Chains A and B, each alone.
Chain A
């Protein structure tokens, strides 16, 4: 057992570092620095660079386009992309539906969808939650009725992130209304341009348009777009949730977030000292670093277990709970550190806008980000649901 990188791993780290320095899109960096909201094109520009290099889906099996990296290499990759402040890739294709398709899909589904996920040609969204089905996901009511070689789908989904850009969506629908809740659900891939699909924006607390309502009215979906068996969609859903949770720990990005807080707290003055020298404030930062270190080493232990063949199981709920709490504490401390200048609602410069920014740049979006990040303990199965999962699946209660 040791923490040192081997010479090969150091060489890999240097390669990754150099690649990012040379290839991260410069205009993307500019927009991030100015606190602009990012467009679909912005997200895709980095995605395409990585696809060209063959690094867009490190965790996928090599035969489907993965990199074959070791757990340590994947750790290095997430460290380096966070260190360079690279934007996060949209997870819906790469870490959600992609693994479901290569695990449960037919050869035709794999051939049709996986290359387009990797290339970024298809933008995916997730049709899970419904107005009446949040934490109790299995109570979902969107109906899919078989009609020849099609399903006819009717219902409403909500909290559908980035559906406004989506080409495809993966949906949980009820195919057997008489079966026990989890047993009557199927996993459908739906073309978002199909007649009967309507996407309406929901604006969240920070003013962002991230999530949407999706209405499905007599949408005809070919049966060949069902993944896995009819009424066995819950198996795919559970598999996907476990995958989603490991990524959700967000350790590398949170390390970067702590560094940003320290930068802010060194710039902000508190009497004749920097805010970071205030014993009350810095104790909160120290506790955050402590808990983040505990999360990092828990994730490293989990990755080591995975390398030995233990798949991500219910233990990944632990990573979700702690990771999401830490993400929230980071945004909370950043806002606290920003002081007065947390208040101005600054949404980036418009075209041809020559005005000066309001207050220090680092303060600009601390409040909207804090508001927005309340989502992390709610999405992906709320933290209360995660505790239920641990109690049932790990502790046998």
Chain B
């Protein structure tokens, strides 16, 4: 058992943190979000070429640094500290993770393009009726000669407006909620028959409703692995957003602590009041537990599927609960200024709030944990 980061991991964190400190201050981020494209493509290019760190979780044979889930956690934590709107989760963790797990010619072709920053991936898995059930799919991929024909509607696909590719879950057979028949496809985002309705999200990203109408896709776009692969990829993504939550809530904690030392009321800093001191202590406790559960879940990602799912669900449930506590109390401690757009704190709160529900709420994950662990209700 070992709880220390390697030197390479420390370097990765330092490299990214220094770059983000120089490039990603709050005002710059606001400008990126307000721009037509909703981001600064130069940042992504710099992460790929200047820093070369989009390769972090890929094996050396794939042209990567030989890392994995821990490297993703480190990256996401640092990105979370500046509430970055970069599509690292969708492109590297999810798209890259699916390719890494599935292997084959498609992986060999696309992973180098991810590493060099040429590919951005949107993850089209959710559907309007499905909530967090990955198998509840009406999108179909019907076999058609060597390829497939795709039809359906995917909900709230983060980074889709920027994407060169979409990772799509679709049904090749079975009924709407069957596990059998769920498959993953990595397709060109510009194929004929794909339409999008783009919009900004409340936490600063861009996303789309994505519609497939008789979209012809080649047979080699299929990533073999079915629902098991999809669940694995989503579990990895879940732990990555937990990593992001570590960074986001750490900043909520620090920002609130600073504010409580500066803000004067009744002739003294509000941090002198015991009721707020205890609240700050509780925020600290929750942030530490977010860190602990993120490590736990991340370190258990390679266990057999049932144990992995139970661990990830326990982690995400706790992170969701704690992130809500930290976010709400950060705003409350700031008072009126906390509910304006002016301070960064509110923007961290918005991202923390979206993380709560991303890949399943606390209730969803407690329920999944119970289904896996306890006798049937």
Chain A interface residues (CB < 8 Å from chain B): 1-5, 9, 72, 75, 262, 266, 273-274, 276-279, 282-283, 285-287, 289-291, 293-298, 300-301, 303-304, 308, 315, 318, 321-322, 384, 386-388, 390-392, 394-397
Contact = CB atoms under 8 A, between A and B. Distances in A.
Contacts of B276: 397
Contacts of A322: 285, 289
Given A9-B1, A318-B285, A388 B274 contact: yes
Contact of A4 (B1, B277, B374, B376): B1
29 contacts: A1-B4, A1-B9, A1-B295, A2-B2, A2-B299, A4-B1, A5-B1, A266-B375, A273-B375, A274-B375, A276-B374, A277-B374, A277-B376, A282-B377, A285-B374, A286-B366, A286-B374, A291-B318, A295-B289, A296-B292, A297-B292, A297-B293, A297-B295, A300-B1, A318-B285, A391-B277, A394-B281, A394-B284, A396-B257
B338 interface: no
B293 A395 contact: no
B376 A301 contact: no
A301 B278 contact: no
A4 B1 CA distance: 5
A384 B278 CA distance: 8
B13 to A, nearest CB: 13
- SS of A interface (majority): helix
B97 interface: no
Contacts of B369: 286, 289-290
Nearest to A298: B292
A5 B1 CA distance: 5
A291 B286 CA distance: 10
B377 A279 contact: yes
Interface string B60-81: 0000000000100000000000
A75 B317 contact: no
B3 interface: yes
Given A298-B288, A390-B284, A397-B277, A3 B376 contact: no
Given A297-B295, A301-B292, A391 B374 contact: no
Interface in B257-291: 257, 260-261, 271-272, 274, 276-278, 280-282, 284-285, 288-289, 291
Given A390-B281, A397-B272, A283 B261 contact: no
A247 to B, nearest CB: 18
A11 to B, nearest CB: 14
B314 interface: yes
A76 to B, nearest CB: 9
Nearest to B274: A388
Contacts of B299: 1-3
A286 B369 CA distance: 8
Nearest to A390: B281
A276 B318 CA distance: 21
Nearest to A5: B1
Contacts of B296: 293-294, 296-297
A252 B107 CA distance: 44
A273 B377 contact: yes
Interface string B287-316: 011011101100110000000000000110
Nearest to B310: A289
A307 B285 CA distance: 22
Given A277-B376, A322-B285, 13 more contacts: A1-B3, A2-B2, A279-B370, A282-B377, A286-B317, A290-B317, A301-B291, A386-B281, A387-B282, A388-B281, A390-B285, A395-B284, A397-B260
Contacts of A387: 277-278, 281-282
* Chief secondary structure at chain B's binding surface: helix
Interface of B: 1-6, 9, 70, 257, 260-261, 271-272, 274, 276-278, 280-282, 284-285, 288-289, 291-293, 295-296, 299-300, 314-315, 317-318, 366, 369-370, 373-377
A49 B2 CA distance: 31
A388 B4 contact: no
A395 B295 contact: no
B370 A286 contact: yes
B287 to A, nearest CB: 10
A395 B333 CA distance: 15
A391 B285 CA distance: 11
Contacts of B272: 397
Contacts of A278: 377
The interface centre, meaning the residue of B261, B281, B288, B373 with most chain A CB atoms within 10 A of its CB, is B281
Given A2-B2, A283-B366, A397-B280, A294 B292 contact: yes
Nearest to A308: B4
A2 B2 CA distance: 5
A392 B278 CA distance: 10
Contacts of A397: 257, 260-261, 271-272, 276-277, 280
Contacts of A300: 1, 3, 292
B292 A1 contact: no
B69 to A, nearest CB: 10
Given A5-B1, A283-B370, A396 B284 contact: no
Nearest to A303: B3
Contact of B3 (A273, A289, A301, A384): A301
A258 to B, nearest CB: 11
Nearest to B298: A1
B289 A298 contact: yes
Nearest to B3: A304
Given A277-B377, A397-B280, A294 B1 contact: no
Contacts of A295: 289, 292
- By CB atoms of chain A within 10 A, which of B6, B289, B300, B318 has the most? B289
A293 B317 CA distance: 12
A75 B1 contact: yes
Q: Closest 3 A-B residue pairs measured CB to CB?
A: A304-B3, A391-B277, A297-B292
Q: Which of A4, A321, A390 has the most CB of B within 10 A?
A: A390
Given A1-B2, A301-B295, A391 B278 contact: yes
A230 to B, nearest CB: 33
A308 to B, nearest CB: 8
Contacts of A2: 1-2, 299
A394 to B, nearest CB: 6
B198 to A, nearest CB: 37
A259 to B, nearest CB: 12
Contacts of B278: 384, 387-388, 391
A3 B375 contact: no
A5 B291 CA distance: 22
A1 B236 CA distance: 17
A315 B289 CA distance: 12
